Structure 1
Amino acid sequence: MRLTTKGRFAVTAMIDLALREHTGPVALAAISQRQQISLSYLEQLFGKLRRHELVESTRGPGGGYSLGRKSDEITVADIIVAVDEPIDATGCSGKENCHGDEHGRCMTHDLWSNLNQKMIEYLDSVNLKKLVDEQLAKGVSIEDQPVKRAISSQPVVKPIKVTAPNSVFALGNALTK
């Protein structure tokens, strides 16, 4: 199996999200900054994770993502499958035409198929909660620094400057000048 950056980034982002979920929805921009993953790439990954109901999105100011299920109910296999990461060590992608023609399976097909099964079993045995607990045991800091957003959570109050006369008398005086 060749795990690409897609699977690695998805698992990393999900760990980051699960670590901070208790503070409310987590912005992808914050995950992007902390994990050094492109925001547009995260948006693509989280779109797939959302379609597989592993995450939920909240729109608007203070919005972001939260887990779609409890962290002990989400496995690494769920995450990798959700982002379309193939878990396959065979040369034929499990189609049993290893030589690309009618010659059928290669001599090592069963070896690689068994490896696939063991990888899936292992990834299915590791849940997100276990990975979060490992990070916490290592002393990972989960201080949530606010991300600069385009829209401020505080309204901007500007004083109104009135240049018009405030009474009939002031209007009369302004017109005679």
Structure 2
Amino acid sequence: MRVSAKSDYALRALIEMAVREDSTPVSAEELGRLQEIPHGFLQAILADLRRAGVVVSQRGQSGGWRLAGKAEEISIADVIRAVDGPLVSVYGLRPESVSYNDRAEVLQHVWIAARHSLRDVFEQVTIAQLAASDLPDVVTSRTADEDAWKSH
């Protein structure tokens, strides 16, 4: 799987929002500065997150962006889907919509299994956990394996 800059930036911006104890809005400029995210790119990402109901914007002098709900209820999967679409797609289609001939139809099972594996992690990790640097066992157990850190 390839994690896009869009997803990475979105998650980093949401962590910044979540660590604010008083839930006050934070400007896009400050988010960009804190996480070194290009302003124009961040504005587009925030618009995607707003359309998905992940963040809300507040106008005015004390305006900015804040989470639309509780950080404990927003998963990494929610964020990726909001900014990039489905977790796994095969030339733009969801894996269950792809069709193959008899010899290659086994590939569909691989794509479905890959999506399921991604869900095991991405749907279990919330913005609150990221903000607290407190990852669930489903992540820590996988990263404890030395082989997980090696590129193949």
TM-score by length of 1: 0.66
Q: 1:96 aligns with which of 95, 98, 108?
A: 98
1:82–1:126 Cα change, 3 Å: same
Amino acid at match of 2:70: K
In the other structure, the counterpart of 1:81 is 81
Paired residue total: 131
Task: Report deviation, 1:33.
Answer: 0.6
Pairwise mapping of residues 63-82 of structure 1 onto structure 2 (< 5 A)? 63-82=63-82
- Distance in 2 separating the partners of 1:54 and 1:5: 18
* Amino acid paired to 1:75: S
1:146 aligned residue = none
Matched, 1:60 2:60: yes
Alignment check: 8 A CA contact 2:23 2:66 kept: no
Decide whether aligned partners of structure 1 residues 59 and 21 sit closer, same or farther in structure 2, where only a CA change above 3 A counts. Answer: farther
Structure 2 length normalisation: TM-score? 0.76
In structure 2, what is the equivalent of residue 164 of structure 1? none
C-alpha RMSD of the superposition: 2.1
> Tell me, what secondary structure is at the counterpart of 2:115?
helix
- In structure 2, runs of 5+ residues without a counterpart are 135-152
CA distance in 2, matches of 1:91, 1:52: 23
Shift of 1:28: 0.8
The structural deviation recorded for 1:85 is: 3.6
| Residue of structure 1 equivalent to 2:119 | 120
Give the conservation status (yes or no) of the 8 Å contact 1:76–1:128.
yes
Report the Cα distance in structure 2 between the residues aligned to 1:52 and 1:21, rounded to whole angstroms: 23
Helix, strand or coil at the partner of 2:132: helix
Query: Which residue in 2 is equivalent to 1:171?
Result: none
Cα pair 1:90 1:113 within 8 Å, conserved = no
- Point out the structure with the larger helix share: 2
Retained in 1: the 8 A contact 2:17–2:23? Answer: no
**Matched letter for residue 129 of structure 1:** A
Aligned residue type for 1:31: L
Q: What's the secondary structure of 2:26's corresponding residue?
A: coil
Q: Is the 8 A contact 2:76 2:125 kept in 1?
A: yes
Post-superposition, which runs of at least 4 consecutive aligned residues in structure 1 deviate over 6 A? none
Match of 1:131 in 2: 130
- State the AA in 2 paired with 1:8: D
* Distance in structure 2 (CA, Å) of the matches to 1:3 and 1:58: 29
1:55-88 CA deviation, whole Å, 9 max, x = no partner?
1111011110111001101111111111134311
Q: Report the alpha carbon displacement of residue 90 of structure 1 after superposing the two structures with TM.
A: 4.5
Shift of 1:18: 0.9
